[in-house]
Amino acid sequence: MWEKIEMLDFKYCIKPFISSDTCGDSAFFSKCKDSYLLFIGDLGGHSNKELSIISSEIKKSLEKNKEKNIYELFELINNLNGVKEYGLAFFLGRVNEKIEILQYIAIGNIKLNLLRKKNIKNLKKQDGFLGFQIPENIENNLLKLKNNDKILICTDGVDSFKDKIISFLSLHSLEESVKYISDKYSLKKDDALVSILEFKQKETFNNIEIPTFKREEIHFNTISETAYENHVNTEVSLKELDKSYFFSSIDNSLNSREKLSQILNYLNFDSLKYVKVKTIILEVLSLSTNKFDIYISTEVLQIKTLIKEVFVKKLTPIIGLEKHFLDKEKNLLIINYPLSNKIETNSSKHNKLKEMINLGLDKNSYKMYKIDEEKNRLLTKQSKLAALGEMIGAIAHQWRQPLNELAIRIQKIKYAHKNNKINDSYIKEFLKENMMTIEFMSNTIDDFRNFFKNEKQKSVFNVRTAIEHVIDIQTCQLNEHNIKITIEGDDFDIYGLKNEFMQVILNLINNSKDAFFKNKIINPMIKIDIRENKISLEDNAGGINKKDISRVFEPYFTTKNTDENTGIGLYMSKIIIEDNMNGELKIENKNNGIEITILLGDIQ
């Protein structure tokens, strides 16, 4: 292990204005546990006994607290009464024994220079004066030191020497150099302090460890390859958690990283475990493109991914001693993390969080999403009720005539009986006619009932047949208004929700029917054309007003006046076609009416 041995030397020389016990300039250099602390101060004024007392105070405070951070030392000094009274310009710095960095705070009129390789450069410091004008933000500076660097720190009682001293310094010792500068450049009108900090570095080969921040919990586990073999091929194999515990998937995308953070925060992992899990997942993802599946049971977090054995071996140092198992046949890596708190996987809190994380939403967006979802659900319910209302109207309408027929025939019995017409053939005829009527009424109920079943299962169905079915149900109404309906074209099957599709067609036909009535159209006609994946419905009902046509798909928008018209029909139809069936629903004015086009996607 290459070690850099640092050697710091510090020499200084003070020329007080009058005497050393009235001098406001001071220097303090001390070895601490792992570092060297350096302080140079210039109290405001000179020829004052107080100043040297305050300087001693500062040095005492530094000596007492020298292991503290520079920032804390600065605060201590800043709070001394003497400093507040007279003001202080200062340099406070530290060099760690083994890291070649000079860290310092320097405020005020102190001359700060770096002499490196025959070049003099000003080092950064802040303007101000402790006690009078403290900078708002205290800057801490870090400077990487190089072998033979010399830091020159002088108080303002020393005139600037620029680069005139370079040659002298390169040929003389530190002590001589300090004396030289002091003799030649100290101004007679003030206390003057000249100091030089010299940094030397030697590289040697040594078995020394790198200084680290003592964090007890980190164990660096190194597992040799044989140990790995033993570790992974143990009899104890990890069982995959049941699919119902699946929570989410993590892949290489940016969103996934957010997801992962959300999940680990939810599980309340302490920062160390958090980093470990995150590191493993991200390292694996950088090696392979497969995603990680995250399973959460009441007591365990299980992460799974497909990954080749050769990669798992590379990752052993990172996975360490976590319980993990590689199914070599399936190339499946499973790692289990026991949870510190039990998770209720059935609670609504858990499921809501799962939905939120998988949608990639934050708390607020998720709230809005749920509100929207509820709104849509209510809207669907309303629309169904409205459609139901329409259907009940249709049933009533469909039954009115048959009921009349039944009533008439039943009443006729009285007269038939009076006139002795009731015989076997009369009874036979009577039964036949009435049963037919009753069957017709019964079929109506079945038709409507099937129509209304809440269908969640998609199926393959024939479009033409479905449309014809709807027309059948509507026959009485259509005939009453003399509406001619034709179906033309090819035919095709689609995969979707049959009943919902039929609801859409019903809605469209009803809309046309209402328009025919409102506009008193003489020869009402609906033409339905079926092509591959495209259904169009044309009518001659007079079309829609230009100002309204862009709004017809809005919920609650209606151009009809009657109370029954809720304005939900086209909105729901659009949702059914576009969201549930991945299609498109368009409406345009054409000729004397409108043309509605339904485009349907391929079978999925």
Partner 1 sequence: MNFQINSTSDLKLTLSLIKQYIKNNISDTILMNELLILVSEIIYNIRKFSQEGTVDISIKEDYFFIKAKDNGKGFAKKTEQSILEGYSTANSLGLGLPSIIRICDELEIITSNTGTYIECGKKLKC
* 215 forms part of the interface with partner 1 (CB under 8 A): yes
Q: Which is nearer to partner 1, 71 or 132 (CB)?
A: 71
Which range, of 133-141, 224-232, 304-312, 498-506, touches partner 1 by CB under 8 A? 133-141
Looking at 188, 189, 207, 212, which residue binds partner 1 (CB under 8 A)?
212
Nearer to partner 1, 141 or 499 (CB): 141
What is the maximum span of the chain, computed from C-alpha positions, in angstroms? 154
d(CA 528, CA 536): 6
Contact 277, 267 (CB under 8 A): no
Residue indicated by tokens 């919920």: 555
| Residue of the chain from 21, 63, 127, 139 that contacts partner 1 (CB under 8 A) | 139
* Pairwise CA distance, residues 355 & 66, whole Å: 55
Minimum distance from residue 82 beta carbon to partner 1 (Å): 24
Out of 141, 401, 477, 499, which residue is the one contacting partner 1 (CB under 8 A)?
141
Paired residues of 94 in beta bridges: 37, 103
The beta-strand segments (E) located in 276-382 are 292-296, 300-306, 323-327, 332-338
- Beta strands per DSSP E along 441-511: 459-462, 484-489, 493-496
Exactly one of 69, 173, 351, 545 binds partner 1 (CB under 8 A); that residue is: 69
Which string of x and - marks every residue 20-59 that binds partner 1 (by CB under 8 A)?
A: ---------------x------------------------
What is the Rg, in whole angstroms, of the alpha carbon atoms belonging to the chain?
Answer: 46
**Residue 302 interacts with partner 1 (CB under 8 A): yes or no:** no
The answer to the question of residue 429 lying near partner 1 (CB under 8 A) is no
The Cβ-side half-sphere exposure at 420, using a 13 Å CA radius, reads 0
x/- map, 258-297, partner 1, by CB under 8 A: -------------x--xx----------------------
Min separation Cβ 105 and partner 1, Å: 8
Of residues 275 and 371, the one with the C-beta less far from partner 1: 275
Measured from the CB atom, is 99 or 441 closer to partner 1? 99
- Burial degree of 213 (CB within 10 A; 0-12, 13-18, 19+): exposed
593 and 541 Cβ atoms separated by less than 8 Å: yes
Residue placing its CB nearer to partner 1 in the complex, 189 or 363: 363
528: β partners? 487, 537
User: Cα separation of 166 and 162, whole Å?
Assistant: 9
CA dist list (Å): 265 to 118, 268, 349, 460, 467: 55, 5, 14, 45, 53
Residue 2 interacts with partner 1 (CB under 8 A): yes or no: no
Closer to partner 1 by Cβ: residue 15 or 125: 125
Closest CA to 83 of 131, 128, 40: 131
- Which of 49, 60, 84, 124 is in the footprint of partner 1 by CB under 8 A? 124
CA 320 to CA 539: how far, in whole Å? 73
Residue whose CB is less far from partner 1, 211 or 389: 211
Instruction: Say whether residue 317 binds partner 1 (CB under 8 A).
Output: no
Part of the chain binding partner 1 (CB under 8 A), chosen from 68-76, 360-368, 463-471, 582-590: 68-76
Residues touching partner 1, count (CB under 8 A): 31
Nearer to partner 1, 212 or 224 (CB): 212
318 touches partner 1 (CB under 8 A): no
- What are the phi and psi torsion angles at 459 (to 5°)? -150, 165
Nearer to partner 1, 8 or 194 (CB): 8
DSSP secondary structure letters along 56-121: HHHHHHHHHTTTS-HHHHHHHHHT-HHHHHH-EEEEEEEEESSS-EEEEEEESS-EEEEEETTEEE
362 binds partner 1 (CB under 8 A): no
Q: Which of 30, 61, 65, 96 binds partner 1 (CB under 8 A)?
A: 96
Q: Does the footprint of partner 1 cover residue 70 (CB under 8 A)?
A: yes
201 binds partner 1 (CB under 8 A): no
**In the complex, what is the shortest distance from the CB of residue 177 to partner 1, in angstroms, rounded to a whole number?**
24
CA distance 399 to 388: 16
> Does residue 317 contact residue 222 with C-beta atoms inside 8 Å?
yes
User: Does residue 603 bind partner 1 (CB under 8 A)?
Assistant: no
Task: Tell me which of 188, 213, 289, 456 binds partner 1, using CB under 8 A.
Answer: 213
Pick from 56, 52, 6: which is nearest to 28 by CA? 56
Of the candidate residues 103, 186, 256, 336, the single one contacting partner 1 (CB under 8 A): 103
Under the binding rule (CB under 8 A), the answer on residue 173 touching partner 1 is no
Asked if 197 touches partner 1 (CB under 8 A), the answer is no
Per CB under 8 A, the segment of 56-64, 209-217, 226-234, 505-513 that binds partner 1 is 209-217
DSSP β-bridge partners for residue 104: 93, 141
Q: Of these, 76, 99, 315, 599, which contacts partner 1 (CB under 8 A)?
A: 99
Single out the segment in contact with partner 1 by CB under 8 A; choices: 63-71, 243-251, 296-304, 466-474: 63-71
Closest by CA to 322, choosing from 289, 363, 275, is: 275
Min. distance of Cβ 249 from partner 1 in angstroms? 20
Residue 235 beta carbon to partner 1: minimum distance, rounded to whole angstroms = 34
* CB-nearer residue toward partner 1: 149 or 190: 149
Binds partner 1 (CB under 8 A): choice among 1, 142, 171, 408? 142
Alpha helices (H) along 269-343 = 271-287, 309-319
> Angle at the Cα of 452 (from 449 to 456), degrees rounded to 5?
125
| CA dihedral sign, ordered 271, 274, 275, 276 | positive
Cα three-residue angle 214-218-222, rounded to 5 degrees: 125
Q: Binding string to partner 1 for residues 531 to 570, with x set by CB under 8 A, is what?
A: ----------------------------------------
Contact region for partner 1 (CB under 8 A) — 39-47, 76-84, 100-108, 358-366?
100-108
Which residues would be at the binding site for partner 1 (CB under 8 A)?
35, 69-72, 94, 96, 99-101, 103, 124, 137-144, 210-215, 218, 254, 271, 274-275
